């Protein structure tokens, strides 16, 4: 979850001291060494606001370096020296690949100015005969530009998505601020500024993209207030407690505080003064008299764009200087960053492989949310293997939770339970995240009156490359099938998505990454991320092809719901149906698969609530579950619940019948229980 967003924020802060265009929108294009970030920012009344943000954890200059190695250097090397199994993931050649990577990076830097660069590595390695292998190559700028092109395409697609999410076009953004050494490449700058193929927004050249990071970090560090020391101070030194903002948009900032002394000590007659030592002559606030208990307040002054240091002079009732801790403070008049936004939506993956969003992208941090879920199956107290999984994911795909990044899982084992948890037991889930992006997830089960909590840190386990290889093959087959369908039907939306897959060379990267990942954890993680990218793209094409069927399905199920509401709904149900009618009308007009699916889900939810109140529907469910008795995981429990359901049916106890049926539904067949969908969520929203 932690992307380069924090670093980008510091770079934006550095630039803000020079930018006086109040209210303008800027796009920060940060093509770093290993990550890419795109952020739309606005400076208004001295405050920075991040309007929107997007990025890719595996897109940057490092990716280009490896492309030069694997697609240019290695083929040239093997033409002259047929080295056995010369692959990036082979530990035998790890040192040789490290040399090639460094040579590619250095040559790439030279090619930002020259049209060709000589590469010579002597020796690169030792071959099977024990002889030195020398690698020589003349790398041309055109070769690097060819390899850079799909990476720039991916970064442009991210930028366009970031703008489109806020309904912004090129005319709404004043400048693109370039950050990172790769942005010095002429080909990249040409693509960005192209009105047809790029962003069509003027580029900002006034700041060296190589130094903006260091300058931003230095300014950021200079504006941080240090916590008051808790260590003992020297004898005779008085401790100060200061209250002020280190950075602000006020040219006359207010500073208050207190001299901390022992209880009962009277500071009547003491004074404090702040001195701007760098001014010539030094500027002074004048001596401010302290209250008897040591409190004071005054105004300082500042000039825009400068870090001001004020020395502190504390004097006793006779005018003698008394040393203080701290003995100075700093203040900068400039843009102030507002609370950082959440860069990706956070939520819980459910048993149906959907994402229930707790905190939406763009939410100001710190933030938290509590929601009620229900368990998807029965969990027996102390039962081996029974675990409730609450996977926390980040991303924007609410329909397919496994297309989002798993950042941690809250586990509740059966041996932690004081009693059995029937299916559909309520669980109150809380997610909180602070400004440093440390996440805390908690689950409270009212039935047990017990809370389970865990601080989730953003670390990932080892990537299963064999599993990934199988999934890549499956997605390739799915992509091929959908490509044929899209071409036969001439579906423009699906064809547009498939064209993006080709332009970003997703399949090419996935072909290379598993082998590289055998000896490189970063390459393995990148492979996993790219597989999710491919799955999401194929999903989008699939959804686009499903639009006609979705329209027909929505029409049919909406008609059934209208009849159900008319026959059995109360005033509240009819009011909800009226709201849904407007949503159905909008979904038909939009013909967007996401909108259609979301509306269909709302129609089904209301229909299910009404159906579960009808005795006839409950009897249909009972007959179905009775026929499926033999496939249920816990035969003894299934038998008891079915007997209870039949007794409730005979007594006309529809509430009791409903409860028994809902618990029966929580007893899935063994073969289905083992195939947890998506990230293995165990609850329903």
CATH of residue 33's domain is: 3.30.420.40
Residue pair 386/414 in contact by the 8 Å Cβ criterion: yes
Residue pair 208/37 in contact by the 8 Å Cβ criterion: no
Which of 314, 337, 360 is at the close of a domain? 337
Residue pair 393/338 in contact by the 8 Å Cβ criterion: no
pLDDT at position 225 over 80: no
Please report how the helices 465-489 and 521-568 are oriented relative to each other, as an axis angle in degrees rounded to 10: 60
Domain that holds residue 269: 229-337
Average pLDDT in the 62-74 region? 92
Is 234 domain-assigned?
yes
Tokens representing 2? 């932690």
pLDDT at position 19 over 70: no
Helix-strand-coil percent breakdown of the chain, rounded to 5? 45, 25, 35
- 213 and 241 share a domain? no
- 167 and 312 share a domain? no
How is residue 246 annotated by DSSP? S
Q: What is the pLDDT, as a whole number, of residue 479?
A: 92
- 208 and 266 share a domain? no
Mean pLDDT of the chain: 83
- 65 and 197 share a domain? yes
**Checking DSSP bridges between strand 36-44 and strand 47-56, what pairing results, if any?**
antiparallel
Average pLDDT in the 194-216 region? 73
- 22 and 157 share a domain? yes
Average pLDDT in the 218-244 region? 62
Q: What is the largest CA-CA distance in the chain?
A: 97
pLDDT at position 77 over 50: yes
**Checking DSSP bridges between strand 132-140 and strand 175-179, what pairing results, if any?**
unpaired
Is 13 domain-assigned?
yes
Burial (Cβ within 10 Å: 0-12, 13-18, ≥19) of residue 360: middle
Is 46 domain-assigned?
yes
Cα gap 13→218, rounded to integer Å: 10
- 264 and 281 share a domain? yes
pLDDT at position 436 over 80: no
pLDDT at position 217 over 60: no
- 60 and 176 share a domain? yes
**Checking DSSP bridges between strand 116-126 and strand 132-140, what pairing results, if any?**
antiparallel
Q: What is the pTM of this model?
A: 0.69
Is 470 domain-assigned?
no
- 214 and 240 share a domain? no
**Bigger pLDDT: 519 or 106?**
106
Question: Is it true that the peptide bond before 547 is cis, omega within 30 degrees of 0?
Answer: no
Average pLDDT in the 373-388 region? 81
pLDDT at position 56 over 50: yes
Q: What is the pLDDT, as a whole number, of residue 672?
A: 39
- 210 and 284 share a domain? no
- 199 and 260 share a domain? no
Least confident range from 97-111, 457-471, 603-617, 663-677: namely: 663-677
Least confident range from 43-47, 118-122, 312-316: namely: 43-47
Average pLDDT in the 281-306 region? 85
Is 76 domain-assigned?
yes
Which of 163, 189, 222 is at the close of a domain? 222
Sign of CA dihedral 412, 418, 420, 424: negative
pLDDT at position 352 over 70: yes
Is 379 domain-assigned?
no
Convert the pLDDT of each residue in 148-187 to its tens digit.
999 999 999 999 999 998 889 888 998 898 888 788 888 8
Which of 222, 247, 277 is at the close of a domain? 222
Is 672 domain-assigned?
no
Residue with tokens 């303008």: 24
- 107 and 41 share a domain? yes
Q: What percent of the chain has pLDDT over 90?
A: 26
pLDDT at position 314 over 90: yes
**Phi and psi based region of residue 361 (left: phi greater than 0; alpha: psi -120 to 50; beta: remaining):** beta
- 306 and 218 share a domain? no
Residue with tokens 């560090």: 221
Average pLDDT in the 473-478 region? 91
Convert the pLDDT of each residue in 550-587 to its tens digit.
888 899 999 999 998 888 888 888 899 899 999 989 98
Residue 35 CA to its chain's centroid (Å): 13
Domain count, the chain: 2
**Bigger pLDDT: 350 or 338?**
350
Q: What is the CATH number of the domain that holds 295?
A: 2.60.40.10
Question: Is it true that the peptide bond before 123 is cis, omega within 30 degrees of 0?
Answer: yes
Residue 488 CA to its chain's centroid (Å): 37
Task: Supply angle C-alpha 355, 356, 359, rounded to 5.
Answer: 110
Q: What is the pLDDT, as a whole number, of residue 136?
A: 95
pLDDT at position 17 over 50: no
Q: Which distant-in-sequence residues (6+ apart) come within 8 Å of 103 by Cβ? A: 73, 119, 121, 135
Q: What is the pLDDT, as a whole number, of residue 633?
A: 63
Q: What is the pLDDT, as a whole number, of residue 183?
A: 84
Three-class SS string for 429-448? EEEEECCCCCEEEEEEECCC
**Bigger pLDDT: 561 or 332?**
561
pLDDT at position 64 over 60: yes
The pLDDT-based confidence of 508 (bands split at 50, 70, 90) is: confident
**Bigger pLDDT: 415 or 19?**
415
Residue pair 138/116 in contact by the 8 Å Cβ criterion: yes
Cα gap 450→434, rounded to integer Å: 24
Q: What is the pLDDT, as a whole number, of residue 336?
A: 57
Residue pair 523/515 in contact by the 8 Å Cβ criterion: no
The pLDDT-based confidence of 667 (bands split at 50, 70, 90) is: low
Q: What is the pLDDT, as a whole number, of residue 340?
A: 73
Average pLDDT in the 465-493 region? 88
Q: What is the CA radius of gyration of the chain?
A: 32
**Bigger pLDDT: 210 or 16?**
210
Q: What is the pLDDT, as a whole number, of residue 420?
A: 86
Convert the pLDDT of each residue in 236-292 to its tens digit.
789 898 888 777 777 888 898 899 888 778 898 999 999 987 777 888 899 999 988
């Amino acid at each position: 979850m932690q992307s380069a967003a924090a670093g980008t924020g510091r770079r934006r802060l550095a630039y803000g001291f020079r930018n006086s265009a109040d209210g303008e929108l800027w796009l920060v294009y940060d093509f770093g060494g290993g990550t890419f970030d795109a952020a739309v920012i606005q400076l208004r009344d001295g405050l920075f606001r991040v309007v929107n943000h997007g990025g890719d954890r595996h897109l940057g200059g490092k990716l280009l370096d490896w492309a030069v190695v694997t697609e240019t250097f290695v083929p040239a090397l093997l033409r002259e020296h047929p080295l056995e199994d010369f692959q990036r993931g082979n530990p035998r050649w790890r040192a040789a690949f490290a040399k090639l990577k460094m040579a590619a990076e250095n040559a790439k830097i030279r090619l930002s100015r020259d049209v060709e660069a000589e590469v010579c590595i002597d020796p690169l390695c030792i071959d099977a005969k024990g002889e030195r292998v020398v690698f020589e190559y003349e790398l041309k700028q055109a070769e690097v530009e060819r390899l850079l092109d799909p990476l720039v395409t991916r970064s442009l697609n991210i930028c366009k998505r970031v703008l489109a999410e806020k309904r912004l076009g090129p005319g709404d953004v004043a400048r693109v601020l370039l950050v990172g050494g790769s942005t010095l490449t002429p080909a990249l700058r040409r693509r960005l500024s192209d009105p047809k193929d790029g962003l069509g927004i003027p580029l900002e050249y006034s700041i060296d993209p190589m130094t903006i990071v260091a300058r931003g970090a230095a300014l950021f560090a200079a504006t941080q207030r240090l916590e008051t020391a808790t260590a003992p101070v020297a004898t005779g030194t008085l401790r100060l407690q200061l209250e002020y903002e280190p950075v602000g948009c006020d040219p006359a900032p207010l500073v208050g505080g207190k001299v901390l002394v022992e209880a009962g000590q009277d500071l009547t007659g003491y004074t404090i003064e702040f001195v701007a030592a760098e001014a010539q002559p030094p500027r002074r606030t004048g001596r401010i008299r302290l209250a008897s208990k040591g409190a004071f307040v005054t105004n300082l002054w500042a000039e825009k764009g400068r870090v001001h240091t004020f020395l502190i002079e504390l004097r006793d009732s006779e005018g003698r200087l008394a040393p203080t801790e701290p003995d100075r403070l700093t203040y900068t008049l400039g843009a102030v960053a507002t609370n950082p936004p959440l860069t990706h939506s956070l939520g819980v993956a459910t048993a149906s492989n959907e994402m229930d969003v707790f905190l939406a992208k763009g939410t100001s941090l710190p933030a938290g949310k509590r929601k009620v879920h229900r368990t998807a199956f029965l969990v027996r107290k102390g039962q081996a293997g029974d675990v409730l999984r609450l996977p926390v994911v980040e991303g924007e795909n609410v329909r397919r939770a496994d297309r989002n990044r798993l950042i941690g899982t809250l586990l509740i084992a059966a041996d932690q339970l004081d009693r059995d948890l029937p299916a559909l037991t309520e669980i109150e889930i809380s997610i909180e995240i602070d400004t440093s992006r440390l996440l805390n997830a908690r689950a409270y089960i009212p039935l047990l009156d017990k809370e389970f909590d865990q601080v989730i840190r953003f670390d990932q386990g080892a990537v299963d490359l064999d599993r990934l290889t199988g999934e890549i093959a499956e997605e390739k087959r799915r992509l091929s099938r959908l490509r044929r369908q899209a071409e036969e039907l001439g579906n423009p939306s699906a064809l547009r998505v498939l064209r993006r897959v080709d332009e970003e060379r997703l399949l090419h990267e996935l072909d290379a990454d598993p082998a590289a990942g055998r000896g490189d954890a970063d390459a393995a993680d990148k492979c996993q991320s790219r597989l999710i990218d491919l799955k999401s793209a194929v999903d989008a094409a699939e959804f686009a092809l499903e639009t006609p069927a979705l329209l027909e399905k929505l029409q049919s199920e909406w008609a059934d719901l209208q009849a159900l509401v008319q026959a059995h709904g109360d005033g509240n149900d009819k009011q909800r149906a009226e709201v849904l009618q407007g949503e159905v009308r909008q979904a038909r007009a939009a013909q967007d698969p996401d909108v259609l699916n979301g509306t269909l889900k709302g129609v089904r939810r209301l229909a299910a609530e009404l159906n579960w109140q009808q005795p006839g529907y409950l009897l249909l469910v009972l007959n179905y579950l009775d026929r499926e008795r033999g496939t249920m995981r816990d035969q003894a429990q299934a038998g008891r619940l079915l007997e209870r359901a039949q007794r409730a049916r005979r007594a006309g106890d529809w509430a009791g019948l409903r409860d028994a049926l809902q618990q029966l539904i929580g007893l899935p067949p063994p073969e289905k229980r083992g195939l947890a969908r998506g990230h293995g969520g165990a609850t329903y929203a």
